Amino acid sequence: MTTEPVNVHATAIVVGKTGLLFVGPSGWGKSMLAFACITEAQRIGIEAALVADDQVMMSVHGAEVMAACPPAIAGLIELRGTGIVTLASVGPSVMHYAILPAQTTGSLRLPPDHEICTVAPGIELPAIRLLANVPFPLAVLMAKAADIGH
């Protein structure tokens, strides 16, 4: 199955060979968390790059969920309060996880195992919850999913 690209408000990165799609409401910190994961990966010797920020073109090709960037914003990421910066970027990439906002209290304090995120109609990814202000976001993600970065 192949789907037409759908524009999703998100940030997509690749860490090693793992695609991470940060999905959530405006102001949650998607871009800053993605940036922190990229820089954290690079500091520990894992290749990491931006796919797209703010507008991510999502599609399905066979069994793979793909993310791509509109050409006009390739390599650009907005770091709220700092401005728009340029990062190393890659072209269309397979996404493996949707990273969603976590909560410190309430029903999502301990999110369900095997949670699935519907990114767009017909496009689903396994979900991992992450707090916006966690000091080492990549370490948290790698603790939850050991395949991240490989």
> What CATH number did the domain enclosing 32 receive?
3.40.50.300
pLDDT higher at 50 or 150: 50
Instruction: Please report whether residue 149 resides in a domain.
Output: no
Q: Assess whether pLDDT exceeds 70 at residue 48.
A: yes
Q: Which helix (H) or strand (E) holds 40?
A: helix 30-43
Q: What percent of the chain has pLDDT over 90?
A: 83
Backbone angles phi, psi at 144, to 5 degrees: -80, -35
> How many domains does the chain contain in total?
1
Instruction: Please report whether residue 148 resides in a domain.
Output: no
Q: What is the mean pLDDT of the chain?
A: 94
Residues 88-138: tens digit of each pLDDT: 999 999 999 999 998 888 776 788 888 999 999 999 999 999 999 899 999
Q: Assess whether pLDDT exceeds 90 at residue 150.
A: no
Instruction: Please report whether residue 91 resides in a domain.
Output: yes
Work out the pLDDT band at 75, boundaries 50, 70, 90: very high
pLDDT higher at 113 or 11: 11
Instruction: Please report whether residue 1 resides in a domain.
Output: no
Instruction: Please report whether residue 150 resides in a domain.
Output: no
Q: What distance in Å separates the CA atoms of residue 42 and residue 15, rounded to the nearest whole number?
A: 9
Q: What percent of the chain has pLDDT over 70?
A: 99
Instruction: Please report whether residue 114 resides in a domain.
Output: yes
The count of other CB atoms within 10 Å of the CB of residue 39 is 12
Q: Which domain holds residue 20?
A: 6-142
Q: What distance in Å separates the CA atoms of residue 95 and residue 98, rounded to the nearest whole number?
A: 8
